[in-house]
Amino acid sequence: MTERQLTIVVYHEDDGFVAQCLEVNVASDGDTEDDALANVQEALELFFEDGDAIETHPVYQAKVAKLTLQSA
């Protein structure tokens, strides 16, 4: 059994919440923050179920930044 420390970002979107893993491209949603976290945990467990060799890289001191983009 492999133990992994993963970083999850949770944010409000539309009528619910999204939980997104920063180390791998896995995300899920739910009606509440707790639901979104439980759902992304399940999705991550399934993601890693057959892939013990999947390499992750730790994310240190993640922060949220805002950018303003202009387009034509």
Spans of all domains in the chain: 1-72
Tell me the CATH architecture of domain 1-72: 2-Layer Sandwich (3.30)
In this predicted structure, the answer to whether residue 52 has a pLDDT above a threshold of 70 is no
Mean pLDDT of 24-32: 96
With 80 as the cut, is the pLDDT of residue 51 above it?
A: no
Radius of gyration from C-alpha coordinates of the chain: 14
What's the average model confidence in pLDDT over 45-68?
A: 85
Say whether pLDDT at 25 is over 70.
Answer: yes
* Sign of the dihedral through C-alpha 70, 63, 32, 55: positive
Strand bridging mode 16-21 / 27-30? antiparallel
pLDDT band at residue 64 using 50, 70 and 90 as cut-offs: confident
Report the alpha-carbon distance of residue 55 to residue 59 in Å, rounded: 13
DSSP-derived 3-state class of residue 2: coil
